[in-house]
Amino acid sequence: MRMKLDNFKSAVIVMAHPDDEVLWASSILSTARKVVLCYGEAPNDPLTTEGRQTVFDDFPLSNALSLEIPESHCYDSTHWREPVETGYGVRCGRNKVVYKKNFHLLVKALEAHIEDGDLVVTHNPWGEYGHEEHIQVFRAVAHLRKRRNIRLFVSSYASDRVLYFMERNTPRIGTASDLLPTDKKLGEKLMRHYQDHNCWTWEDGYQWPDYECFYEVVDPDTALRSDKLTMSSMPVNVIWLDEQSPTYSNALRATKKRLVGRLRDFLQRIGNKSVSRS
């Protein structure tokens, strides 16, 4: 029997970064019992870090909380043509020690928020568009599944970068839920809120797809498919991450954030000099 929208009421949503919840699970956000966001400080991005320190002060969702675990700064360091899974996520090209340490921090912190009987929704084992920390959060929740009597569901998003990795993961997931209408109104509201706090990490003006679905995890430790020849037929929302326009857009957004940060620092220094002279 396919899961319907009502079946996800009172779900516990566990996502990696602030804004992941609305990007990958907008359809069930408003009725979730709890929304747990794992990472806070972004060591390579002071402006995002500062925004995340205040973004929950007036957050539109009263059921959201942050574990405030510093990011490991390992994004896009994996060889996605031949990714290697580990017990704590996926093999990264940098900051491996911090990445591994974060897995244990996640498991310990999540124990306080996941209970027997919960229906938990988290990232999929290919990390949506191929994000090492998304995969790590999936692994942490899957690890807790061995200790808690929970039902585990994952999102239905994938990118061109990880389509074959997604395909190899299909033995681990079961039937898709019904197609659920995304909450575009809530999505736009949260996007504006994150943008106001300078910590929206996705495309400015992002348009949500009409529908999304979720897959129940049958066994997260089942062996990956060994063949790479035939693609399965399964409903997913595909993100064309490696196309030119998103790449340029990401670069422009990153440049804009750096310029805003430098301008803010410059104005702050000017203000400090004025105060000292007076």
At 214, which CATH number?
A: 3.40.50
259 & 219 share domain: no
108 & 193 share domain: yes
pLDDT in tens, 237-264: 999 876 544 444 454 455 455 555 555 5
209 & 278 share domain: no
pLDDT at 227: 76
180 & 259 share domain: no
Give 107's contacts (C-beta < 8 A, 6+ positions apart). Answer: 140, 143, 144
pLDDT at 246: 44
pLDDT in tens, 137-160: 999 999 999 999 999 999 999 999
164 & 252 share domain: no
Cα gap 218→252, rounded to integer Å: 40
pLDDT at 127: 99
Cα gap 111→228, rounded to integer Å: 36
pLDDT in tens, 180-216: 999 999 999 999 999 999 999 999 999 999 999 999 9
* Structural domain harbouring 264: 246-278
67 & 147 share domain: yes
Closest CA to 92 of 81, 100, 102: 100
Number of domains in the chain: 2
234 & 111 share domain: yes
Average pLDDT of the residues in 54-82 = 97
What pTM was estimated for this model as a whole? 0.87
221 & 253 share domain: no
Give 190's contacts (C-beta < 8 A, 6+ positions apart). Answer: 19, 21, 22, 60, 61
160 & 172 share domain: yes
pLDDT in tens, 159-168: 999 999 999 9
261 & 188 share domain: no
156 & 197 share domain: yes
Q: How far is CA 143 from CA 110, 140, 152, 193, 233, in A?
A: 10, 5, 11, 33, 28
Bridge partners (DSSP) of residue 121 are 13, 153
222 & 120 share domain: yes
